[in-house]
Every structure is written in structure tokens, then in C-alpha cells.
């Protein structure tokens, strides 16, 4: 098989990296390297940042309407190239084509949101805060913004970042995941085709060396990160130490509470899609079901088990495939070791999909289901990021609520019930950032904002929606008076609107 060689895109040009490390990119369904790239070194990264810094003055003066026009063009191009983008995602990530098409669609929503960037940047104006004096706000871009992204959403997560930042008038350096770079590079080419001037979006592929340059470079004003919690915590602390604005969206352990009155069929379908879709490699995947009452747990296990055993596992381009491989051999081994740890800790492995991993060169693992999981087990405390679902049995709703709220992660959660009072109590009291009521993966649409709580997000801003606009802009408040106002002489006291 011939190997495809990729290059970085800096100032609209295709550039070979100068890092000492080459990255191998696999097709995880066959376990083979299909693509390679020489990583971006610290100096390549500094060059991308310097270009973005140089272009900022010009780009920030382009009117929001003209920037929106580019987003309209970009929208058309993404729609036209959706199948191609989805194939690039699936080939390197392993998720099914239908799932990859869905991911491109979620990224597209952000582009659509930014076609009306004028609307989101409009400001407040107050006439006559004092006699002849008006006050108003401006939302202005920051300068060079940057994005460091994970492997599991090669299109959607980068689009949460650069699309909003650029629409707000910033320039951008995007550091793609070294495991799945092809789609992000192609999206960058399409952005240029849409009319974006060279140097506004610069896309590199690198590891810690590139990230450390981003975190310490004096021209970088903001860092957006999505990835695992230990790396996110490091990025948040280092970025803040260098006085950058930082948002770091991190790991998760998402619980779904199933109340005794929940619709069993609806709950079963929801759990299957949310736990095993994308092989469990979603930050909003359901990895814990909290069953309220033994009868609820028994009924769920009875309905879930045959479906999990019959999941069609295979490569993204096989007909009818429901679940693909996980991203790498290391990831597969890590997931298998968690299953082992769960059994040793005393949880009951009701469905054991581990043997699937023995029958292929690809990084496959079958769906696993644990019952009788307790909160001290590593399969409960840790993010496994694979197709492993834990059932925790509790007796009451209050116990379920406490369990969810006490977990160190607080990304997403859901409750399945027919009772409005319980649902309302849950949505108001649970200590988690994104909550679903009979919706298993409550990923907010682009006009709302995405972000977790606790160790699922460091910093105070989520992505897209108004949170995203606020993150990529700074507020300026102007108080203005024109010479025709009344002359009162110098004022030595601190004046207020009540003064004439
Ligand atoms: P990761 O933390 O390994 O990598 C994320 C990014 O950080 C990559 O670009 C990588 O190159 C870089 N990186 C890795 N190690 C680094 C280091 N030591 N120093 C500096 N940079 C480093 O995450 P991943 O495995 O690519 O993605 C999976 C994780 O992302 C999961 O934990 C998942 O929950 C999380 N995630 C969170 C969200 C969210 O919105 N909360 C969304 C998607 C994924």
C-alpha cells in the first residue's frame, strides 16, 4: 500500500515540518499505517504564530459582513464535500461513515451560526447616561487565537474553535491531533477556497513540542483545548501562567439515570446508541447507567444484553456496520485492562466483547456490559473511552443524584423518566454542565454553548454560542460626549448619571 505524506498549511502554503518526529497515521480497522507527517517543531509553530500575528491587523479590519460572506461560501463547500470529509474522518478515526457525516453536520451548524456573526457582535448602546453623554460597548477581537484538538472529533471540535474565532475577527493557529490530521487539513484548504486570505488560518500537526510553543509564545492571546483531563489541566495552568485566556474542555464519565417509570424501550435504544456509538469514544458517551431499583436494573440488562452481543462490528465502509474499532493498539490494550480490573474488583461482566480483539489486525473490541459496579472501582471512577458500560444499582432517586453529582467529572448526564417533577429537580440540582431529559447525549446545538463542570472544564467559557463569541472577543466600553454639551467647568468629584 502506498503511504500518503501530509504537510502543514502556513500562510496558505503547504510546508514540510522540521520536528525530529514523524507521526504514523493508522487506518484502525486494518491496523496499518496509511499516512505519515513530519511533525511541526517549535520553530514551525512559532512561524505559524508569527504569520497569524502579522495578518491580524488586516483581518480584524475586514467588516463582519464580509467575514460572514466567507462563512456562507464555506457552508456551501462543506455541504458539497461532506462525503469526502466523512471518509477522511472514518479512515483515520474508525467511526462509521454515517457517524462521520453526522459529525461534519454538527461542525456545519457552527459555520451556519457564524454566517450571522453581525448579529452576535452587535452591542448595547445607552443614550444620555448623563446629560449629553452616551455609553456603548464594542466587542473586539483578541489577536492570535489557537486551538489544540483531540482525535475523537477530527472535524467538529476544530470547527467549534477556528470558525468562531475567525468570524469574530481573530487570526488562528490550529494544532491538529497527530492521530487524525487529514480532515482538519482538508477543511483548512476549503476555508481558503471559500475566500479566506492566506495566513488567517494556519494549521499544523504536532505534539507537546508544538503545544509548548503555543503556550509560551508572546503573540498568542487565547488557547482553546479539547482533550483529556491531565493534558487539559497542564495546558490551563501553563497558559494562565503566560497570561493567556484559556478554555480547556476535558474528560468525562457521563451517567444516565433510569427511573422505574422510564419507558424501557426508549431507554434501551438510547443507551445502546450513547454507550456503543463511535465505540464509546465520545466525550458525551454514556459510560454509567444508574438504575433506580433492582427491577429497573434487571429489566434493562435483559433488554440490553442481546443487542450488545449482536452489534455489527467492522470497518467504516462495510455494509450495515454499527460500531468501528478504537483509535489505536494502545487504546485497545488499555480498555482490555480496565475490563480485567473490573472483573477482579468483583463487578459482574454480563456481556464480554473482549474476544473480538483477538480475531483481527484492526483495533476492534466488542461491546462490554458490567453489572453491580460500585463507586470505588476503577471502571467507575476512570474515563475508559471505549465500548464498556457500567450499571450501578441504587435504591432511590436521591442516591442516584448524589452519585452523579459527586463524580469528579461533570460533562454530561441524562435522566430517563416520565415524571416532570423528578426531571425538573434533577435539571436544577445536578452538578453537571450539560443535562438531558430523555435525551441521552445532550450536545447543545451551535446557538447554545458546549461545556462541562468540575474536572471536565478548566476556565470559565464553553465553546460556540454566546460563550464562544465572548471567549474570542474582548469588551470595550465607550463613554462619549460631543462638544455641544453644556460647559460646567472642571469636576473634582466622581460623577454619576444623576448629576445634571
Ligand atoms: P489527549 O489529551 O491525548 O490529546 C489532546 C491534544 O493534546 C492533542 O492535540 C495532543 O497532541 C495534545 N497532547 C497530548 N499530550 C500532550 C502533552 N503531554 N502536552 C501537550 N499536549 C499534548 O486527548 P485525545 O486522546 O486526543 O482525546 C480524547 C480525550 O478528549 C478524552 O479524554 C475525551 O473525553 C476528551 N474530549 C473532551 C471533549 C469535551 O468537550 N469535553 C470533547 C472531545 C474529547
Domains of the chain: 4-250+456-477 (3.40.605.10), 254-437 (3.40.309.10)
For ligand 1, mutation pick of 227, 287, 449, 451 (most atoms within 8 Å of CB) = 227
Strand partners, 15: 8
Q: Which amino acid residue places its CA nearest to atom 21 of ligand 1? A: 208
Q: Is residue 210 within 6 Å of ligand 1 at its C-beta?
A: no
Output phi, psi for 312, to 5 deg: -85, 110
Q: Nearest C-alpha to atom 30 of ligand 1 is from which residue? A: 227
pLDDT, tens only, 325-359 = 999 999 999 999 999 999 999 999 999 999 988 87
User: Ligand 1 centroid to 232 CA: how many Å?
Assistant: 7
Q: Which residue is it, cell 503566560?
A: 242
Q: Mapped to the 3 state alphabet, what secondary structure does the chain carry? A: CCCEECCEEECCEEECCCCCCEEEEEECCCCEEEEEEECCCHHHHHHHHHHHHHHHHHHHHCCHHHHHHHHHHHHHHHHHCHHHHHHHHHHHHCCCHHHHHHHHHHHHHHHHHHCCHHHHHCCCEEEEEECCEEEEEEEEECCEEEEECCCCCCCHHHHHHHHHHHHCCCEEEEEECCCCCHHHHHHHHHHHHCCCCCCCEEEEECCHHHHHHHHHCCCEEEEEEECCHHHHHHHHHHHHHCCCEEEEECCCCEEEEECCCCCHHHHHHHHHHHHHHHHHCCCCCEEEEEEECHHHHHHHHHHHHHHHHCCCECCCCCCCCCECCCCCHHHHHHHHHHHHHHHHHCCEEEECCHHHHHHCCCCCCCCEEEECCCCCCHHHHCCCCCCEEEEEEECCHHHHHHHHHHCCEECEEEEECCCHHHHHHHHHHCCCCEEEECCCCCCCCCCCCECCEECCEECCCCECHHHHHHHCEEEEEEEEECCCCCCCCCCCCCCCCCCC
Check if 178 has its Cβ closer than 6 Å to any atom of ligand 1.
yes
| Binding site membership of 180 for ligand 1 (Cβ less than 6 Å) | no
pLDDT of residue 359: 76
Q: How far is CA 310 from CA 192, 315, 357, in A?
A: 44, 16, 15
**Considering the entire predicted model, what is its pTM?**
0.96
| Active site (catalytic) residues | 283
CB atoms within 10 A of CB 207: 15
Question: According to the model, what pLDDT value does residue 494 have?
Answer: 80
Q: How far apart are CA 380 and CA 398, in angstroms?
A: 19
Q: Give distance in angstroms: CA of 158 to centre of ligand 1.
A: 12
pLDDT digits (tens, 9 = 90+) for 139-184: 999 999 999 999 999 999 999 999 999 999 999 999 999 999 999 9
* Alpha-carbon separation of residue 451 from 239, 442, 461, 474 (angstroms): 19, 11, 7, 20
Distance 249 CA to ligand 1 centre (A): 9
Q: How far is the CA of 416 from the centre of ligand 1 (A)?
A: 30
Q: Using a 6 Å cutoff on CB, does residue 249 contact ligand 1? A: yes
Count of CB atoms situated within 10 Å of the CB of 236:
21
Q: Is 442 in the pocket of ligand 1 (CB under 6 A)?
A: no
What spacing in Å lies between the alpha carbon of 151 and ligand 1's midpoint? 7
Residue 479: what are its φ and ψ, rounded to 5°? -115, 120
Q: Report pLDDT for 483.
A: 77
Residue 456 CA: which ligand 1 atom is closest? 41
The answer to whether the CB of 44 is under 6 A from ligand 1 is no
CA 223 to CA 142: how far, in whole Å?
A: 11
The pLDDT score that the predictor gives to residue 486 is: 63
For residue 452 and ligand 1, the question of a CB distance below 6 A is answered with: yes
Q: How high is the mean pLDDT in each 10-residue block of the chain (500 residues)?
A: 92 96 96 97 98 98 97 98 98 97 98 97 94 94 98 98 98 98 98 98 98 98 98 98 98 98 97 97 97 98 98 94 97 98 98 89 96 98 98 98 98 98 98 97 95 96 96 97 74 72
Ligand 1 atom nearest the C-alpha of 207 is 11
With contact defined as beta carbons under 8 Å apart, do 397 and 262 qualify? no
Return the closest-CA partner of residue 300 out of 390, 202, 208, 223.
390
Question: What atom of ligand 1 comes closest to residue 283's alpha carbon?
Answer: 34
Which atom number of ligand 1 is nearest to the Cα of residue 149? 9
Q: List b or e across 77-88, with b for residues whose CB sees 16 or more CB atoms inside 10 angstroms.
A: bbeebbeebbbb
Question: Phi and psi for 144 in degrees, rounded to 5?
Answer: -85, 120
Amino acid at each position: 500500500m502506498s503511504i500518503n505524506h501530509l504537510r502543514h498549511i502556513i500562510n496558505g502554503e503547504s510546508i514540510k515540518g522540521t520536528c525530529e518526529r514523524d507521526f504514523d497515521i493508522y487506518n484502525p480497522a486494518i491496523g496499518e499505517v496509511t499516512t505519515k507527517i513530519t511533525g511541526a517543531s517549535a520553530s514551525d509553530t512559532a512561524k505559524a504564530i508569527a504569520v497569524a500575528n502579522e495578518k491580524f491587523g488586516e483581518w480584524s479590519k475586514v467588516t463582519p459582513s464580509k467575514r460572514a460572506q466567507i462563512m456562507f461560501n464555506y457552508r456551501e463547500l462543506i455541504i458539497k464535500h461532506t462525503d469526502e470529509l466523512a471518509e477522511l474522518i472514518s479512515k483515520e478515526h474508525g467511526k462509521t461513515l454515517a457517524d462521520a457525516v453526522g459529525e461534519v453536520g454538527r461542525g456545519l451548524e457552527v459555520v451556519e451560526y457564524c454566517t450571522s456573526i453581525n448579529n452576535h457582535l452587535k452591542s448595547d448602546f445607552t443614550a444620555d447616561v448623563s446629560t449629553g453623554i452616551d455609553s456603548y460597548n464594542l466587542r473586539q477581537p483578541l489577536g492570535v487565537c489557537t486551538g489544540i484538538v483531540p482525535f475523537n472529533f477530527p472535524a467538529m471540535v476544530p470547527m467549534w474553535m477556528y470558525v468562531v474565532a475567525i468570524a469574530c475577527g481573530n487570526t488562528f493557529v490550529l494544532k491538529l491531533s497527530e492521530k487524525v490530521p487529514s480532515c482538519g487539513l482538508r477543511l483548512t484548504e476549503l476555508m481558503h477556497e471559500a475566500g479566506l486570505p492566506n495566513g488567517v488560518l494556519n494549521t499544523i500537526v504536532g505534539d507537546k513540542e508544538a503545544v509548548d510553543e503555543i503556550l509560551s509564545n508572546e503573540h498568542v492571546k487565547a488557547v482553546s483545548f479539547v482533550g483529556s483531563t491531565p493534558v487539559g489541566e497542564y495546558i490551563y495552568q501553563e497558559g494562565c501562567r503566560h497570561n493567556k485566556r484559556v478554555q480547556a474542555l476535558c474528560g468525562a464519565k457521563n451517567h444516565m439515570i433510569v427511573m422505574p417509570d422510564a419507558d424501557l424501550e426508549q431507554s434501551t435504544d438510547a443507551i445502546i446508541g450513547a454507550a456503543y456509538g463511535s465505540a464509546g469514544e465520545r466525550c458525551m458517551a454514556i459510560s454509567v447507567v444508574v438504575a433506580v431499583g433492582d427491577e429497573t436494573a434487571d429489566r434493562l440488562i435483559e433488554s440490553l444484553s442481546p443487542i450488545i452481543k449482536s452489534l455489527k462490528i467492522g470497518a467504516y465502509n462495510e455494509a450495515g456496520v454499527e460500531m468501528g474499532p478504537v483509535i489505536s493498539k494502545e487504546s485497545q490494550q488499555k480498555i482490555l485492562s480496565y475490563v480485567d480490573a473490573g472483573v477482579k474488583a468483583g463487578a459482574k461482566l454480563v456481556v464480554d466483547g473482549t474476544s473480538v480483539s483477538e480475531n483481527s489486525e484492526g483495533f476492534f473490541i466488542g461491546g462490554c456490559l458490567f453489572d453491580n459496579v460500585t463507586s470505588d472501582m476503577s471502571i467507575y471512577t476512570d474515563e475508559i473511552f471505549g465500548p464498556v458500560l457500567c450499571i450501578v444499582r441504587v435504591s432511590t432517586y436521591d442516591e442516584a443524584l448524589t452519585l452523579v453529582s459527586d463524580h469528579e467529572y461533570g460533562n454530561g448526564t441524562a435522566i430517563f423518566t416520565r415524571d416532570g417533577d423528578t426531571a425538573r429537580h434533577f435539571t436544577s440540582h445536578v452538578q453537571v454542565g450539560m443535562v438531558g431529559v430523555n435525551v441521552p447525549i445532550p450536545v447543545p446545538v451551535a446557538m447554545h454553548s458546549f461545556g462541562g463542570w468540575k474536572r471536565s472544564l478548566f476556565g470559565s467559557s464553553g465553546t460556540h454560542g454566546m460563550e464562544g463569541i465572548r471567549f474570542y472577543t474582548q469588551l470595550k466600553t465607550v463613554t462619549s460626549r460631543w462638544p455641544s454639551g453644556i460647559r460646567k467647568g472642571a469636576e473634582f468629584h466622581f460623577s454619576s448619571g444623576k448629576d445634571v
